[in-house]
Amino acid sequence: MNSQNSIIDIAKKTIEMESQAILNLSQLVDTNFSKSVELIYNSKGRVIITGIGKSAIIATKIVATLNSTGTPAVFMHAADAIHGDLGLILEDDVVICISKSGNTPEIKVLVPLIKNAKNKMIAITGNPDSFLGKQADFVLNAFVEKEACPNNLAPTTSTTAQLVIGDALAVCLLKLRGFSSNDFAKYHPGGALGKKLYLRVSDMSEANQKPAVTPNTNIKDIIIEISEKMLGVTAVVENDTIVGIITDGDLRRMLTKTDDFSSLTAKDIMGTNPKRIKANAMAVDAKDTMEANGISQLLVEKDGKYAGIVHLHDLIREGII
């Protein structure tokens, strides 16, 4: 292999091979899958997911996905389980065992111990006729014809298949539980993703200064207000109600249109139909409104009254943009 084209060809073939294997999985989904979902959904315990080697790594990802979508799950390494960690499994727990061959030594030792404890067991395996497949209560067939590895050895396509089955389980359970975006936010409070789901406009605007002038405020005081509040804008307010907006841009345009501006007031230069947003709106809605209108700030209202300003910089600082 000595060219970029060769590298690109190999990458494309790998992706195509794995995508076809995933597509083939849909033909293997049967009542074992639906019964597995119902078993987990109706269980009073947790989901314990175990495996060895690359399957163990896939198990940890499936555990993370289940936990983040409302299904309590715990990872248990198959090798550690037979050396003490078997105590992780409680009476009402459902065990998912992942193994491509279903015949690895650790699995052959572990499976009878799980069966003796009377826990229900689901197998994710590429070999339903294996030791694991025959011992499990339900078998989720993860068969793939060939690994993407040119030697057909390194777990590649097979682990992708296991991962997809785990995602399918999680999504089915999510749907059954009626898991909403608010629930998702509860489990993901940190980072930009969480903030998109729970951060509101008021959380940002209340931390900002609140520039305001009246329609009769003179130009000098308008400039001072905008400069001191450092948001590049001020609301024009009358009886706590927004009647207009003045931005840095409005001031610059005013200077190009008149030589004598000493007698001008806010009502002479303000925009009379400013974009605004409610204080309890989501921060991501503020982002969408700014992007749709090509602006960098919104006036905030609460109960019909002027409540402050949310700026593009607030959204950037919070990771919304």
Neighbours of 216 (CB within 10 A): 10
Contact (Cβ atoms closer than 8 angstroms) between residue 127 and residue 103: yes
Q: What is the pLDDT of residue 239?
A: 92
CA 318/CA 43 separation, integer angstroms: 39
CA 102/CA 314 separation, integer angstroms: 53
Q: What is the pLDDT of residue 183?
A: 67
Domains and CATH numbers, the chain: 4-179 (3.40.50.10490), 201-317 (3.10.580.10)
Query: What mean pLDDT value characterizes the chain?
Result: 90
Angle, vertex CA 250, rays to CA 249 and CA 255, nearest 5:
95
Tell me what the mean pLDDT of segment 268-281 comes to.
92
Q: What is the pLDDT of residue 181?
A: 67
pLDDT tens sequence across 80-93: 888 888 888 999 99
**pTM for the structure as a whole:** 0.66
